[in-house]
Structure 1
Amino acid sequence: MAFETAWAELSEVLGDRVTRSKPERDAHGASETYFPVAAPDAVAYPETTEEVAALVRICAAHGVPVIGYGAGTSLEGQSQAFSGGVTVDFARMNKVLEVSQGDMHARVQPGLTREVLNEELRATGLFFPVDPGANATIGGMASTRASGTTAVRYGTMRDNVMALEVVMADGRIIRTGSLARKSSAGYDLTGLFVGSEGTLGLITELTLKLHGQPEAITSAVCAFDTIGDAVRAVTDTIQMGIPMARIEFVDAATVQVFNEYAGAGMVEAPHLLVEFHGSESAVAEDAGTFGEIVGDHGGHGFKWAADAEERKALWTLRHNAYWAIVNARADTRAVVTDICVPISRLAEAVEATQADLEEHNIRGPILGHVGDGNFHSILLFDPADPAELERVKAASDRMVQRALEMGGTATGEHGIGVGKKAFMEREHGEGWQVMGQLKAALDPDNVFNPGKLVPDTST
């Protein structure tokens, strides 16, 4: 009855931009990975912040959960409606509202995707660097504190979001942060909402830090005989302070898929994919120093891509790795897990993961943004084989536990959702309870994305 009343009120506010169509509900309840469909009761498509605020007030008044939704690319169940409710799809709030070339920032709506943003910025000489593999929305990227291939140089969403507009659980609209590049004025509310996975409020506008296009860009790939050799080359590179723009690792299994998927013509061995940004002289010097490090670790088969089209092809291949790997075997789904460890433990963590997967006969290509200690394994299973799913989930759990024992984290960029919630207390101790207290203070009726990230606060 409560939902029916809410539905009537939502229909008055949004008209035909709120729907109970089963295909739309199922699409918004689907997962990129292994979670079963968890559909909402309705899907709403607001066009303004004021409509979002009205929607939240209605749902809060009737105890109806509210789940934010961008492109649906999250990997730990963040956008699924496990408790029903209303999914708020920001597809119609997808505009670039302002670009300041002088101050190097952009004000955008949450439904804008990173690729569209950078297309619109192309003529300005500026770009937004955060680039997760999927063409995610900016709002979703902020909600999961996403990163990508360029994090080693330009940072993650945490470092590149300057200010937010947020709708709170009582319908208030607040602004956090400012246009200043730094501030010591009070609590960092922007940082609180970035990474909160839609559990504290709905982000309706973001002010982003932009960066100047570098004078020179050069990319390269090189092969190694072993995973350990490749990763130790990364560790030495970072510890020497070489300013890499990108330094990505892919194992031999991933390279094999690249060759089958896109005719990459790469030697089927572990590889590093790298990029340098800067002046012509700086790029040449950094690339030369990196080449010496690679040689010390047995690297070979250097291929340089200074041409823009060659670089685009290389990084498109890397960004499409997940879909290439999953589609390489018929009737396959994946448990995708990521961890992040201190850079000094990176080689140990990657080698231990590889040995674990081999011991348990699990196909799980390993790749990642290793310049900051972050890597992934895409653990493949047959969806018709529940036992195989449990085996790969157990492998994912061991991978996370290994990272925690090394002083790392359960996730470097994918977030917690429901998939890694079981590890939060182990990683944060009493700090996880403090997160729950923050949730209870800001969303006492547990309206926003219930069941995700924090201890249960249902009343």
Structure 2
Amino acid sequence: MALRDVKPDLRNEEGTVAVLGILKQTFGERFQTGQSFREQHAHTTTYLPPQLPDGVVFVESSDDVKAVVSACAEHRVPIIPFGVGSSLEGQVNAPSGGISMDFTRMNKVLRISPEDLDVTVEPGITREELNRELRATGLFFPIDPGANASIGGMTATRASGTNAVRYGTMKDNVLSLTVVTASGEEVRTASRARKSSAGYDLTRLFVGSEGTLGAITSITLRLQGIPEKIGGGVCAFPTVEAACNAVIMTIQMGIPVARIELLDDMQIRACNAYSNLSYAEKPTLFLEFHGTEETVALQSQQFAEIAADCGGDEFRYTADAEERAKLWNARHNAYWAGRALAPELDGLSTDVCVPISRLAQCVVETQADIAREGLLAPIVGHAGDGNFHVLVMFDGKDPASVSKVEAFTERLSRRALAMDGTCTGEHGIGQGKMAFLEEELGGSVDLMRAIKRSFDPGNIFNPSKIFRMT
């Protein structure tokens, strides 16, 4: 899909006018139609042009959500769920207008069950807020996509991040949901039991649905015990292949690494400048180990031996909390570090995921593509999952620059598909990757459309995302 060619769908003008009146009467000052509010709720970190909703409603309870859904369903007006707006593929854009439903005020912890290692929260709470609430219990929620995203948004996009190699993704950590469907009814997808064979797995159907099937009103999550000991470090390698070989050997040996992140030489240069570091500008792995004093020490030693066998430099290990925080702050700021390489340019952050055995080949071919096209595009990856991100800089006002980056992202997605991978490991489909979803899954997309029609016959939930209804 062209970066500047996201066409709006047909609008329901009469229905929109009716819904605006209903919501203004129902919610008063919690419903806003001002330009600035509408712009804020279409503005994301995506490269796609903003498409504004007609109004923004700040919901505070499931009853509020039901009221909004009922009004919009009656008049066939789109609803676009909004968390904090950190999506990367246009998920919060409103191509047909409609109502942005802002969940930031639904941010409570509803229940903590330390003995069961689970928690139930409202969708607007962010992952950092949740972990602050959990700190006194000795538990934490491990999914870390980098941005301080809302739990509802992370659920809707099936987020993962740096800890996924050990703790899985959102699909592995959501036990149950409550969801308001297009009928205005709130349903529960599962119990709190750790496993169940009772009927369809509706929880995982909603996880990753990008707001297209219903509005999530609560999430029950698995928790983990805060590790007794956390250690981590950095190791540079002469080539990407050498770094990826070290990752593969680490995984194959069963070392339970908590994080293993790949940064290419360009990304290391960006992080050094942005975070005031002095790492060698070579392909580098950032690692973290969780466990007891003894197991963390053993795991770090095992990795150091693997790294040496793969030609890596000395593994710079630390168990100091402050040093580890500096290390992972640099990793979490990789996007902004990359943007700082050329602040005058626009940035497109895209991702793919391939089987781990193909990661080195995919990254190396992508780097060759970048060099051949003369692009500025650092790479960072969740190496233990075969998932990597490319931040491509371009001039959005220059048609030739836009065309070049469009062609690059198409080649990247098709390169991953040719390696039996996926066009997106984390960012989702949204608006930007709908064409590649068809290429990746073929006729399965028709099954998705059938599910969408069953759950949302009026097509009011986040229309024109993931796929177009035909």
TM-score w.r.t. the length of structure 2 is: 0.96
Which of 79, 90, 111 aligns to 1:66? It is 79
Map residues 20-419 of structure 1 onto 2, 5 A cutoff: 20-419=33-432
8 Å CA contact 1:331, 1:383 repeated in 2: no
Equivalent-residue separation in structure 2 for 1:241 and 1:391 (angstroms) = 41
In 2, the alpha carbon distance for the partners of 1:158 and 1:188 equals 11
In the aligned structure 2, how far is the partner of 1:455 from the partner of 1:3?
21
Report deviation, 1:455: 3.3
| Match 2:23 to one of 10, 18, 28 | 10
1:302 Cα deviation from its structure 2 partner: 2.4
Output the amino acid matched with 1:302.
F
2:176–2:221 contact (8 Å) kept in structure 1: yes
CA contact (8 A) 2:38 2:52 kept: yes
**Residues 335 and 393 in structure 1, CA contact (< 8 A), matched pair in contact too:** no
Partner letter of residue 185 of structure 2? R
Cα distance in 2 for residues equivalent to 1:45 and 1:167: 16
Residues 433 and 455 of structure 1 are in contact (CA less than 8 Å); yes or no, is this contact kept in structure 2? Answer: no
Q: Percent identical across equivalent pairs?
A: 53
Listed as ranges, the gaps of 5+ residues in structure 2 are: 1-13
Provide, for residues 384-440 of structure 1, a one-character-per-residue CA deviation record: whole Å limited to 9, x for no partner. 222212211211111110111111111111100011110112111111100000001
Letter in 1 for 2:211: G
What is the CA distance between 1:168 and its match in structure 2? Answer: 0.4
CA distance in 2, matches of 1:182, 1:381: 47
**CA-CA distance at 1:146 after TM superposition:** 0.4
Distance in 2, matches of 1:294 and 1:407, equals: 28
Supply the AA of the counterpart residue of 1:395: F
**Per-residue CA shift, 1:338-387, capped at 9, x if unaligned?**
11111111111111111111111111101111101111111111222222
Q: Does structure 1 residue 453 correspond to structure 2 residue 447?
A: no
By how many angstroms is 1:320 displaced? Answer: 1.2
Deviation at 1:56, TM superposition (A): 0.6
Query: CA offsets per residue over residues 235-255 of structure 1, 9 Å max, x none?
Result: 111122111100000011111
Q: CA deviation at 1:327?
A: 2.7
- RMSD of the alignment, in Å? 1.0
Q: Which moved more, 1:239-248 or 1:323-332?
A: 323-332
Contact 2:271–2:337 (Cα < 8 Å) also in 1: yes
| Structure 2 residue identity aligned to 1:308 | A
Whole-Å separation in 2 of the counterparts to 1:177 and 1:323 = 39
* Cα deviations by residue, 1:73-114 (Å, 9 ceiling, x for unpaired): 000001111111000010110111111110011110111000
3-state SS of 1:107 partner: strand
The answer (yes or no) to whether the contact 1:432–1:455 under 8 Å persists in 2 is no
Deviates more, 1:384-393 or 1:161-170: 384-393
Distance in 2 of aligned mates of 1:213 and 1:144? 25
Moved over 4 A (4+): none
SS, match of residue 430 in structure 2: coil
SS in 1 for 2:205: helix
Match of 2:9 in 1: none
How big is each residue's C-alpha offset from its partner over 1:293-329, in whole Å with a ceiling of 9 and x where there is no partner?
1001111142222111111111111111112211331
Once residues 61 and 107 of structure 2 are traced to their aligned partners in structure 1, the CA distance between those partners, rounded to angstroms, is: 10
Cα deviation code 1:180-204 (max 9, x no counterpart): 1111100000000000000000111
Q: Which amino acid aligns with 1:225?
A: P
| Cα distance in 1 between the residues matched to 2:252 and 2:407 | 33
Instruction: Indicate the residue corresponding to 2:5 in structure 1.
Output: none
Q: Are the equivalent residues in 2 in contact too, given 1:439–1:454 (CA < 8 A)?
A: no
Question: 2: CA distance between counterparts of 1:2 and 1:203?
Answer: 24
Provide the rounded CA distance (Å) in 2 between the counterparts of 1:235 and 1:18.
52
Secondary structure of the structure 1 residue equivalent to 2:200: coil
In the aligned structure 1, how far is the partner of 2:119 from the partner of 2:325?
A: 24
**Separation (CA, whole Å) in 2 of partners of 1:306 and 1:332:** 38
Take 1:269 and 1:87, find their aligned partners in 2: how far apart are those partners? Answer: 44
Q: Could you tell me the TM-score, scaled by structure 1's length? A: 0.98
Q: How far did 1:36 drift? A: 1.0
User: Counterpart in 1 of 2:32?
Assistant: 19
Kindly indicate whether the alpha-carbon contact (under 8 Å) linking 1:33 and 1:333 is maintained by their aligned counterparts in 2.
no
Task: Report SS of the residue matched to 2:63.
Answer: helix
Letter in 2 for 1:363: L
Aligned length: 457
Aligned mates of 1:330, 1:149 — CA distance in 2: 26
Range with greater deviation from structure 2 (123-132 or 227-236):
227-236
d(CA) in 2 for partners of 1:74, 1:452: 12
SS at match of 1:92: coil
Residue 97 of structure 1 contacts residue 108 of structure 1 at CA under 8 Å; is this kept in 2? yes
* 1:32 positional shift: 0.6
Contact map agreement 1:220 1:275 (CA 8 A) in 2: yes
Give the secondary-structure state (helix, strand or coil) at the position aligned to 1:177.
coil
| Distance in 1 (alpha carbons) for counterparts of 2:252 and 2:207 | 29
Question: Following the alignment from structure 1 to structure 2, what is the Cα–Cα distance between the partners of residues 185 and 15?
Answer: 42
Q: Post-superposition shift, 1:336?
A: 1.1
**Letter paired with 2:372:** E
